Amino acid sequence: MSDKAYMLFEEQQKLRGIDLEQVKTRLKKLKIETPSWGYGDSGTRFKVFQKVGVPRNPFEKFEDAAIVHRLTGLCPSVAIHIPWDHVDDYGKLRSHAEGLGLSIGAVNPNLFQDDDYMLGSVTNSDPAIRRKAANHLLECVDIAKETGSKDLSLWFADGTNYPGQGDLRKRKHWMLEALAEMYSALTPDMRMLIEYKAFEPAFYHTDIADWGMAYNYALKLGPQAEVLVDTGHHLPGANIEHIVAYLIDEKRLGGFHFNSYKYADDDLIVGSMNPYELFLIFYQIVLAANDADEEVRGTVEKIAFMIDQSHNIEQKIPAMIRSVLNVQTQYAKALLINHEEVAEAAGRGDVLGAEDAVRRAFEFDVTPLLHAVREEAGLPVDPMKAYHASGYGAGIMARGKGGASW
């Protein structure tokens, strides 16, 4: 992309009253955490494909994450999932990450792959299983202390498949009990991010089924508990950006798990199915970032943007690069919204004018802007092309098959 293309773009935006210097500054601050599990082998319930070149251990997952960060400048931290990323010495994993220019991000407990949890983990009617599950949560807080992580992302597969299978209200109490025990183990600088999911693997009821339940637990626990919005965890038709705006206003939006879906929790590449939805999520975030209320602005600053995807048929590193670039693109577009224009039209009751002022920003090609941002940051203007030219993908083939999987 030539300087000319950027100059034209800048001129065009100036005429609309958009200050591109400010836009670039904000774009340069965007950070997106990638998940360790997005680099390993994963699959559907029908098949886990074993790919050649997949990391064989958590250390190699960080190596793959490092190239994503080196080429995009967007991904300085990596979330881990325990026990998928179990290592004997977490201090060693932390030094390895730091040596690669990364940090260890959110710690995700895993309470869904042990036979004991078939009928629930923290909501199991057996107190011994509940104890085991709560101990795992506490173990994850200890791991976070060693890795220097500040966020604990909690997702529970707990739920039932049939009416009568479990006591819904008892389970609600057990859930709160476990969360409260974990909450009291947090250090003051840690956050507990509570994830919800409408269904799957449980198909009748899920113990934390929606944002309202997650929010209610967060309220009961205290200010260090916030809600995590996984974009794939809603029933079709849910207005996710409304949930986002609501939770920001309540100062309880802790973070995102970005991914995309067509039918359910498909874990497809974020922005691949409905980029407009992603843009509208960022519209709410950008609006709140400009809010007069300092606390609202503070909430936005602390939002953890994380990818939560499993790449089954995709090449894993390019899939991650595509994902974070899609997020960056929609954020860039949202930064081009002229909010005065929107407010002015809305104030006149001009519904179509307001909608047009929002949508127009989405319709710009932001390639010249993103190229300029990358160039100024000393990054390749086309990270995907740079990855294919780097030879990294060919180098990791030596790892062979049979890498780490979930």
Residues lying near ligand LRH in the complex (CB under 6 A) are found at 37, 108, 155, 195, 197, 230, 257, 265, 308
Cβ proximity to ligand LRH: between 108 and 160 the closer is 108
How open is the CA angle 90-91-97, to the nearest 5 degrees? 90
* H/E run at residue 195: strand 191-195
In the complex, what is the shortest distance from the CB of residue 130 to Mn ion, in angstroms, rounded to a whole number?
Answer: 23
Tell me which of Mn ion, ligand LRH, none is bound by residue 10, counting a contact when its beta carbon lies within the kind-specific cut-off of 5 to 8 angstroms. none
Cβ proximity to ligand LRH: between 33 and 230 the closer is 230
Among 10, 207, 265, 341, binds Mn ion (CB under 5 A): 265
Torsion of Cα atoms, 270 then 309 then 367 then 329, to 10°: 50
Tell me which of ligand LRH, Mn ion, none is bound by residue 37, counting a contact when its beta carbon lies within the kind-specific cut-off of 5 to 8 angstroms. ligand LRH
In the complex, what is the shortest distance from the CB of residue 359 to ligand LRH, in angstroms, rounded to a whole number?
Answer: 30
In the complex, what is the shortest distance from the CB of residue 231 to Mn ion, in angstroms, rounded to a whole number?
Answer: 9
Among 69, 257, 322, 333, binds Mn ion (CB under 5 A): 257
Please list, in sequence order, all residues whose beta carbon lies within 8 angstroms of the beta carbon of residue 94, skipping any fewer than 6 positions away.
Answer: 103, 104, 146, 147, 148
290 phi/psi in degrees, rounded to 5: -95, 5
The interface with Mn ion within residues 186-215 (CB under 5 A) comprises none
Tell me which of Mn ion, ligand LRH, none is bound by residue 151, counting a contact when its beta carbon lies within the kind-specific cut-off of 5 to 8 angstroms. none
As beta bridge partners, residue 94 has none
Q: Alpha carbon of 244 to those of 32, 193, 282, 389: distances in Å?
A: 17, 14, 9, 38
From residue 53 to residue 92, what is the string marking binding to Mn ion with x (rule CB under 5 A)? ----------------------------------------
Check residue 341 for interaction with Mn ion (CB under 5 A): no
Tell me which of ligand LRH, Mn ion, none is bound by residue 108, counting a contact when its beta carbon lies within the kind-specific cut-off of 5 to 8 angstroms. ligand LRH
The region of 8-16, 25-33, 127-135, 258-266 touching Mn ion under the rule CB under 5 A is 258-266
In the complex, what is the shortest distance from the CB of residue 37 to ligand LRH, in angstroms, rounded to a whole number?
Answer: 6
Among 66, 308, 325, 386, binds Mn ion (CB under 5 A): 308
Residue type, 134: A
Retrieve residue 65's tokens: 């994450």
56 close to 404: Cβ distance less than 8 angstroms: yes
Tell me which of Mn ion, ligand LRH, none is bound by residue 60, counting a contact when its beta carbon lies within the kind-specific cut-off of 5 to 8 angstroms. none
In the complex, what is the shortest distance from the CB of residue 133 to ligand LRH, in angstroms, rounded to a whole number?
Answer: 14
Cβ-closest position to ligand LRH: 155
Cβ proximity to ligand LRH: between 13 and 231 the closer is 231
As beta bridge partners, residue 193 has 153, 226
Tell me which of Mn ion, ligand LRH, none is bound by residue 328, counting a contact when its beta carbon lies within the kind-specific cut-off of 5 to 8 angstroms. none
- Give the span between the Cα atoms of 50 and 54, in whole angstroms: 8
- Give the span between the Cα atoms of 122 and 177, in whole angstroms: 8
Q: Nearest CA to 229 among 314, 308, 331, 337?
A: 308
Retrieve residue 141's tokens: 């807080």
Cβ proximity to Mn ion: between 235 and 343 the closer is 235
Question: What are the b/e assignments for 79-114, b being 16+ CB within 10 Å?
Answer: bbbbebbebeebeebbebbeebebbbbbbbbbbeee
- Give the span between the Cα atoms of 161 and 170, in whole angstroms: 16
The interface with Mn ion within residues 362-391 (CB under 5 A) comprises none
In the complex, what is the shortest distance from the CB of residue 167 to Mn ion, in angstroms, rounded to a whole number?
Answer: 26
Q: Which residues of this chain interact with Mn ion, rule CB under 5 A? A: 230, 257, 265, 308
